[in-house]
Amino acid sequence: MKEMGVRIENGQRIIGKWNHVFEALSAEPRRQLIVSLLDVASGQSVSLPENAMNPNIPTDPEKLRQELHHIHLPLLADQGFINWETEPLVASRGPQFDEIAVVFDALHATATDIPDSLVIGCQRLEQERQTSFED
């Protein structure tokens, strides 16, 4: 009976962790920031707002800066995915960064299997797919 309680507790914990990962990935600026952090060495930071912008979509940098400060960065930091500072506005990998990075690692590793409707327009996945076809 005790084992069942432990299994339920572990299951609820894991469900909560996955919910936090997918909530964090549900907004484009957060996805762009995570990808930018994947491109730098652990311990390095990236400047914001430019590293949270989708290069294919014109964005008002000041509006994004405000959204990052009040919405996106606190959400990511609360889960330990990133650390951030305000002056200058920068972000770096947090202690739980691997929990969110693994999603992108899996997507990039299987870019050729992802439907075109989810790849075309995403520079990173387009590059991964092109690299896979060239190998």
Who has greater pLDDT, 26 or 133?
A: 26
How many structural domains are present in the chain?
Answer: 1
Given a cut of 70, whether residue 1 has pLDDT beyond it is no
Let me know: does 94 contact 83? Beta carbons within 8 Å: yes
pLDDT tens-digit profile of 27-65?
999 999 999 999 999 999 999 999 999 888 888 999 999
Domain that holds residue 92: 2-134
Determine what percent of the chain falls in helix, strand and coil, rounding each to the nearest 5.
Answer: 65, 10, 25
Given a cut of 80, whether residue 119 has pLDDT beyond it is no
- 3-state class of 28 per DSSP? helix
- Strand 90-93 versus strand 82-85 pairing type: antiparallel
CATH (domain of 52): 1.10.10.10
The overall average pLDDT reported for the chain is 90
pTM for this structure? 0.85
